[in-house]
Amino acid sequence: MVETDVHYPTDINLLWDAIRKLIEIIAGLCADVGLTEWRQSAYQLRQFKKLFRQVQRLKHSTAKDPDKRTAKQEAVRQAHRDYLDAAETLLTRVRETLWTLQVGLVPAVFLEPVERYLGHAERQIDQIRRRVLLGQTIPHEEKVFSLFEPHTEWVSKGKAGVPVELGLRVAVVEDQYGFILHHQVMQQTTDDQVAVPLMTDTLARFPAIASASFDKGFHSPANQTDLAALIPRVVMPKKGKLSLVQSAREHAPEFVALRHQHSAVESAINALEVHGLDRCLDHGIAGFKRYVALAVVARNIQQLGALLRRQEAEARERQRGPYRRAA
């Protein structure tokens, strides 16, 4: 899992991000062409941020008194109404200014970010209204987890202390010598969907692969069959309860021996994280993929250097010859 460089997303802070960027961009464009509509943009942003902080601080009541709970819930809804009203007022002004700028004052390429953030703001207003005022649950597929890194995914891995990670999964293929042969950035896909394409691409470069070990997440009946046609020995444990045939297969000496070698992959993952791949600091999906690829190259260079150092140390030991105690 490679995290993107984003803050924890909520619908209210994503709306703040959208409004903030809209006002900063539109005010800058107006200043460039001599318009004064947004000369108080800094003040307007401060006022909107106060409403954002007010909504952010409010918590739902846990009081046993139903009247207190009702009053608190109404206060929460009213704060959200004020926040949304202020956002819609600012959006109306932004649209009016945008129409003015579109009449030959500013090239269209400079207005594209304004239109993009307008879309983000409208979506967040709609989702906040549905969630808070109408009591609806927003489907996961409608949510965006970052305005600046829209490829970011919400990944629930179930790890102790880390219930959720924000970023993208990366599949890594490592050989027995610790070199990473292939990797794939996984967008809107799961381990079981990527297993066969990943190994097909790896075999195209390294056709001599005789066995491959996978995590349990890659298992599916189709993957077992398809990979067996590509690789002589496939080590892919099955999730859940095993049948007698499956249990016999997974307890076979060869399966167990190859499975024990799989733990070395975890050291490669840890090495990638330690050397910068824990969080991607580049922007956009192209930057993310480039960042991951460079980290893989760096890891392989580091592994090559460690191998050469070991070989040099062994050569020096051979040159010294056997140790002899002086008589």
- Tell me what pLDDT residue 325 has: 54
Mean pLDDT value across residues 174-197: 89
**Tell me: the pLDDT tens digits for 251-309?**
887 777 777 777 667 777 888 888 788 899 999 999 999 999 999 999 999 999 999 99
Structure tokens at 227: 């990979």
**Tell me: the pLDDT tens digits for 44-73?**
999 999 999 999 998 776 778 888 888 888
Strand partners, 2: 168
CATH class, domain 9-142, is mainly alpha
Q: How many residues appear in the chain?
A: 327
The percentage of the chain sitting over the pLDDT mark of 70, rounded to a whole number, equals: 95
* Average predicted confidence (pLDDT) for the chain: 88
Q: Please, which contacts does 221-228 make with residues 24 or more away whose CB atoms are closer than 8 Å?
A: 223/192, 223/195, 223/196, 226/196, 227/195, 227/196, 227/199
Note the pTM of the prediction, 2 decimals: 0.84
The amino acid that residue 261 corresponds to is Q
Considering the segment(s) 153-312 as one domain, its CATH architecture is 2-Layer Sandwich (3.30)
Q: Check residue 243 and report its DSSP letter.
A: P
The amino acid that residue 70 corresponds to is T
Structure tokens at 71: 């009053």
CA angle 39, 41, 44 (to 5 degrees): 130
Nearest to 190 by CA among 172, 167, 217: 217
Residue 210 pLDDT grade (very low, low, confident, very high; cuts 50, 70, 90): confident
Mean pLDDT value across residues 173-179: 87
Regarding beta strands 2-4 and 279-280, do their DSSP bridges make them parallel or antiparallel, or are they unpaired? parallel
- Tell me what pLDDT residue 232 has: 86
Mutual angle of helices 41-57 and 11-33, in 10-degree steps: 180
Question: Could you tell me if 18 and 120 are in contact, meaning their C-beta atoms sit under 8 angstroms apart?
Answer: yes
Domain boundaries, the chain: 9-142, 153-312
